[in-house]
A and B are shown apart, each in its own frame.
Chain A
Amino acid sequence: MTLILIGAASGFLAGLLGIGGGGLMVPMLVSVAGYRQRHAHAVSLGAVVVLALAAAITYGAADEVRLGTAAALFLGGVVGAPLGALLLSRVNDAVARRAFGALLVGIAAYLLLT
């Protein structure tokens, strides 16, 4: 039951904002359902496949998906993911996360003000 509720909250956010929902699912799986962090990531990723597919089909029915762009992005993503994993073992990721957080705040301000 807990899993279904976590899935529902994450799914709504995924559909509304076009995100995977993992950012909500992982902490909830850890704190509410008692999963270990690594395991929660993997379980959440499996759910993202279903949530993203359901939302993408809905957007697709409204003709909003640019499939060619998604395919090009995916090709790049396959190359990029191992690069990020490599970086992770070499760079202080707390600093990187702070920098990225600051960047997101900047983008948010830009989007809200323009």
Chain B
Amino acid sequence: MIEVLGYVALGVGVGALSSFLGVGGGVILVAVLVTASDFAQQEAQATALAFMVPTATIGVLAARRHGLGDLRASAVLGAGGAAAAVGGALVALALPGDVLRDVFAAFIGVLGLTMLLRPGQADEDSPAEDHP
């Protein structure tokens, strides 16, 4: 029970941070799960993706209320990316956990440096409620 409450609390933090900073919840979530809990790298990534499906859906609905978004363009992006997403996941599943962890670390290191050096770049005039 306490563990479940911990994850709910983590969800609050991830939701707030990602809508505040404009970075996807996935980056934060995977980083926290592999650093501070017993999740293996693949498990953390899998669980973050499962978390994102309903969360992003709510974000899309919120954006539509503000007249933002274009479902057709989203569908084209999604169609172009779905097979690649499956491919990426298969590569991740085939890699040893510690190698995947290093790849992930390199990615967030670059992302972190970008945010550190050019903090304003990614979210000028972006509405917070559009990316939970």
Residues of A within 8 A of B (CB): 3-23, 25-27, 37-39, 41-60, 62, 64-70, 72-85, 87-89, 91, 93-98, 100-112
Contact = CB atoms under 8 A, between A and B. Distances in A.
Interface string B62-92: 0110101111011111111111111111111
B126 A37 contact: yes
B15 to A, nearest CB: 3
Contact of A55 (B27, B74, B77, B86): B86
Contacts of A74: 11, 51, 54-55
Contacts of B48: 18-19, 70
Where chain A touches its partner, the secondary structure class is helix
B103 A11 contact: no
Nearest to A36: B125
Given A20-B24, A85-B20, A93-B20, A54 B85 contact: yes
A64 B93 contact: yes
Nearest to A59: B46
